[in-house]
């Protein structure tokens, strides 16, 4: 009788992932702009899970609401009412100052301010210029020109830059495809540039939170996960790893679950329980197994010469690194595909995910075949941290990660 997958592994995985996410200090962003300028469209396309629609919006003042969502280390403060008379504009400014003071009481701050202007307006009021100057004294400001279509928008952007306002950047954005007619659509652009300008003004901890929350540049998530995994492998298996009996390979379980949880937190991908079962089930093989560590090592025997040929053999640091690295790299590849699909509002079924994970895991084990040291394992798997940027978040396939999805296979 075949063993069933121990579902406590899934529960532990979810628990560890939540713990890793809770360690990330949320980044705080203030959204400023008149009604109808496209702030919600910007947020829904820039961040995961259509945050402006699905997040919890809590009014904290008459003209400011606080938007959050569990599992996303991001707090948005959205302003309303700038198009009203001067007295109301002054009130909005006062409420922003009040919100910043409340954050300061909790040793927090506004990390970045997106001041949104409709590019189609082609003008900025004196009141707004004064307001921007005041805001820049409290936090870095980026001017975001929404709905940037054609030369007039570019000319407006140049005009704003010539004003030499105290802002970090002026970024033109078309947050989503803009359909002009049945035959003509202007593709979305500018969000990657906005991400780059934002990352440039954030410190390392803030970048971790922002990378988790964003959904535009999946390759940035991949690079961060691979960079972390590389250090993890060298630290965990490269120095002082005590060989363990082959039969006791289950001691790898906490390491591997914790590692995968940390990678999940970097990506910020929402994983359903059925998907997690598919991923773990792919690694432990058909029929599942009670213990992840022992089983993946058993499955690795056919790829690693000499392993397990002697009764009571020991599992060395190199062998443990081979298996764990294969697990990490294949999991990162799967999350990259899931994140790309999630950004498109699509999802892969659990069985497809399971098949991709199995294919990638076995391919990675074969790639590591013959490695004689942990350093060699790391070099084989993490020497290509910089992946091609020309296909960033193409959202069309997993081909660039060496995978063909079902709809790509020839009929």
Q: Indicate the length of the chain as a whole number.
A: 411
Write the pLDDT tens digit of every residue in 94-144.
898 899 888 888 888 899 999 999 999 999 988 899 999 989 998 999 999
Is 108 within 8 Å of 66 (Cβ atoms)?
Answer: no
> Could you tell me the two tokens for 101?
């003071």
The confidence score (pLDDT) of residue 4 equals 60
Residue 58 neighbours by CB distance under 10 Å:
10
> Which of 191, 211, 231 is the endpoint of a domain?
211
Angstrom CA distances, 360 to 2, 86, 222, 257, stand at: 24, 60, 15, 18
Residue 4 lies in a domain: no
Q: Are residues 147 and 293 in the same domain?
A: no
> Which of 187, 211, 235 is the endpoint of a domain?
211
Q: Are residues 182 and 242 in the same domain?
A: no
Task: Provide the number of structural domains found in the chain.
Answer: 2
Q: Are residues 133 and 222 in the same domain?
A: no
> Which of 211, 233, 252 is the endpoint of a domain?
211
**Would you give the DSSP letter of residue 107?**
T
Residue-wise DSSP of 180-243? EETTEEEPPBSHHHHHHHHHTTS-HHHHHHHHHHB-S-HHHHHHHHHHHHHHHHHHHHSSSPPP
Please state, in angstroms and rounded to a whole number, the distance separating the CA atoms of residues 213 and 207.
10
Q: Are residues 240 and 207 in the same domain?
A: no
List Cβ<8 Å contacts ≥24 apart for 93-99: 93/131, 93/134, 95/61, 95/62, 95/63, 95/64, 96/30, 96/32, 96/64, 96/135, 96/138, 97/138, 98/61, 99/30, 99/60, 99/61, 99/64
Question: Could you tell me the sign of the dihedral formed by the alpha carbons of 264, 48, 64, 134, in that order?
Answer: positive
**Would you give the DSSP letter of residue 141?**
E
Write the pLDDT tens digit of every residue in 136-190.
998 999 999 999 999 999 999 999 999 999 999 999 999 999 888 888 998 999 9
Domain span holding position 229: 218-408
- Give yes or no for residue 295 having a pLDDT over 60: no
Residue 5 lies in a domain: no
User: Which of these ranges, 146-160, 180-194, 215-229, 386-400, has the smallest mean pLDDT?
Assistant: 386-400
């Amino acid at each position: 009788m075949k063993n069933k997958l121990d579902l406590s592994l899934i529960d532990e995985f979810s628990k560890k992932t939540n713990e890793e996410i809770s360690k990330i200090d949320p980044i705080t962003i203030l959204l400023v702009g008149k009604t109808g300028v496209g702030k919600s469209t910007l947020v829904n396309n820039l961040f995961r899970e259509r945050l402006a629609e699905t997040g919890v919006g809590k009014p904290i003042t008459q003209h400011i609401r606080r938007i959050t969502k569990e599992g996303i280390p991001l707090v948005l403060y959205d302003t309303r009412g700038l198009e009203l008379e001067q007295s109301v504009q002054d009130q909005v400014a006062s409420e922003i100052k009040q919100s910043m003071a409340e954050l300061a009481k909790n040793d927090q701050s506004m990390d970045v301010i997106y001041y949104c202007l409709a590019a189609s307006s082609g003008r900025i009021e004196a009141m707004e210029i004064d307001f921007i100057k005041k805001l820049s004294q409290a936090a870095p400001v980026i001017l975001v020109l929404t709905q940037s279509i054609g030369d007039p928008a570019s000319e407006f952007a140049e005009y704003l830059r010539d004003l030499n306002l105290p802002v970090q950047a002026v970024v033109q954005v078309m947050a989503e495809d803009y359909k002009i007619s049945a035959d003509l659509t202007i593709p979305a652009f500018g969000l990657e540039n906005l991400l780059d300008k934002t990352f440039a003004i954030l410190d390392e901890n803030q970048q971790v939170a922002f990378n988790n929350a964003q959904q535009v540049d999946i390759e940035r998530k991949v690079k961060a996960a691979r960079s972390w995994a590389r250090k993890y492998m060298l630290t965990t298996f490269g120095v002082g790893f005590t060989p363990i009996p082959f039969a006791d390979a289950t001691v790898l379980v906490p390491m591997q679950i914790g590692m995968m949880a940390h990678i999940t937190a970097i990506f910020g991908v929402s994983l359903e329980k059925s998907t997690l079962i598919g991923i773990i089930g792919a690694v432990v093989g058909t029929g599942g197994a009670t213990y992840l560590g022992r089983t993946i090592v058993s499955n690795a025997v056919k790829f690693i010469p000499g392993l397990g040929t002697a009764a009571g053999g020991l599992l060395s640091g190199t062998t443990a690194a081979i298996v764990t690295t294969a697990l990490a790299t294949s999991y990162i590849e799967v999350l990259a595909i899931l994140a790309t699909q999630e950004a498109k509002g699509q999802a892969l079924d659990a069985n497809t995910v399971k098949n991709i994970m199995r294919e990638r895991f076995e391919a990675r084990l074969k790639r590591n075949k013959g490695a004689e040291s942990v350093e060699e394992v790391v070099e084989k798997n993490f020497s290509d941290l910089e992946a091609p940027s020309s296909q960033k978040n193409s959202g069309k396939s997993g081909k660039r990660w060496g995978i063909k999805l079902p709809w790509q296979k020839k009929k």
